[in-house]
Amino acid sequence: MALDALGNDVSGSPQAVAHLDDAIDRSLRHDGGVADAARDATRADPSFALAHALLALAEPSAAEQSLASARRLLVRAATDYERSAVQFIDLLVTGGMWAAHDAGVAHAAAYPRDLLGVGLAATILERSARRDVHEAVLATYQPSRRILGDHPYLLCMVGFVEQEQGRFDEAGEMAHQALRDQPDSVTAAHLLAHVHVETADHSAGLSWLDAFRRRMDPTGDYVHHMGWHAALHTLALGEQDATLRRLEELSAPGCDRFRHVVDNGTLLMRCRLCGILGPAEDPTGGQAGDPPPEWLADMPSMYVGFHTAVGLAVQGRADDLRALARDAAHMTMPGADEMLAPLCLALADYVEERHGSAVDGLLALRPSMYRWGGSRAQRDVVEDVLVDAAVRGERPEVAVALLSERTQRRPNRWDEASLVALTAS
């Protein structure tokens, strides 16, 4: 019997536990090498069920074989913690978030020292479309904070909720404190990048972010997304050529389909709305925004859903948007019928230049956007479409109200120029 670095009872050999600690630490920091460290743990102790489960989580191509090993070894796992963690991961990998929801919430409550498990459970809650989503996420982290205090990961996760609720000073201090403890933590850098965007600290934020990105492990899972953050800064600064260059870099060969939808599709939409690209121009060769067919059949979450809807809109696929709206009634994800369907219909109206209907549909959804998951920086692309639809649909009062609110909250050159033009006319 042994303890891992966070104080959880585990049954692996000391060498295997050390590798497991490394894998979990890398995962919490969004560093590269998680799968390699988990694989090292399985090699150091082939009977360590939790190591096999973590490898399944970190490397999808190895998931089936790794989970089979974890299940076979689970009967020999020496601790209740390991059994709970493996069963939660198994459900998450094989059945998705909603199949694992109850197990994840129960595991997080029972084992608050398992920051990886707590973080996974909180992510499921964050994407569950609950009206009290922020409160639910914070409540998930509080038991861990009482035990582990200001652990850098916990500071960052609480800080993300703080910035979503507009407490940017508090979120920024949490990010800086986490970076003092872990200077190379991508999780902390990601939080600070959000604070820079939300406080319109674009010049300094871009300089800092580009310097940090040069130090990142190129195999890390957030390398692409941090490049998207940098492009938001250049876009807000009005640097058209730099923004287009970053979009082209983000679309280079090797970009996976998830990032083509979540990052590249929304950035392409913003570039068109700002006039950097024409309505039909696409330097990504049609890849930005193009969702995998399996998402259209059964969307994983509202977070993926709203990005997919924007992606279909940027590709001009109104028929697919209407089909997705119809299919939403049969999907298991929370919010599908209530939020995804009307979003798809509103964006289909926008693509078909039925701007008045698009404005009405998007305005009705605006109060629920916080429930979609992700960040305001991501969701604001839907508001960008709303502003454009209002202008094109001869609803200038809607556009002026939205732009006035946005420029007070988070000024950027595009919003300011649009507001001046609208008020002048």
DSSP codes, 244-266: HHHHHHHTSTT--HHHIIIIIIH
Look at residue 77 in the predicted model and tell me its pLDDT.
76
Q: CA nearest 152: which of 38, 258, 31?
A: 31
Mean pLDDT of the chain: 96
- pLDDT of residue 413 exceeding 90, the answer is no
- pLDDT of residue 206 exceeding 80, the answer is yes
Look at residue 188 in the predicted model and tell me its pLDDT.
98
> Roughly what angle, to the nearest 10 degrees, separates helices 376-392 and 302-314?
40
Look at residue 383 in the predicted model and tell me its pLDDT.
97
CB 384 within 8 A of CB 369: no
Look at residue 142 in the predicted model and tell me its pLDDT.
98
Region 122-150: mean pLDDT is 98
Contacts for 228 with CB less than 8 Å, ≥ 6 apart: 250, 263, 264, 267
In a 10 Å sphere around its CB, with 0-12 CB exposed, 13-18 middle and 19+ buried, how is residue 41 labelled? buried
Q: Which residues pair with 2 in a beta bridge?
A: 10
Q: How far is CA 414 from CA 4, 47, 399, in A?
A: 50, 57, 13
Look at residue 414 in the predicted model and tell me its pLDDT.
86
Region 145-159: mean pLDDT is 98
- pLDDT of residue 76 exceeding 90, the answer is no
Look at residue 75 in the predicted model and tell me its pLDDT.
82
Q: Which residues pair with 10 in a beta bridge?
A: 2
Element (H, E) at 2: strand 2-3
Q: Rounded distance, CA 255 to CA 258, Å?
A: 8
Contacts for 196 with CB less than 8 Å, ≥ 6 apart: 202, 204, 205, 206, 208, 209, 233
CB 206 within 8 A of CB 237: yes
Look at residue 367 in the predicted model and tell me its pLDDT.
97
Length of the chain: 425
- pLDDT of residue 47 exceeding 80, the answer is yes
- pLDDT of residue 424 exceeding 90, the answer is no
Ordered domains of the chain (ranges, CATH): 2-149 (1.25.40), 291-424 (1.25.40)
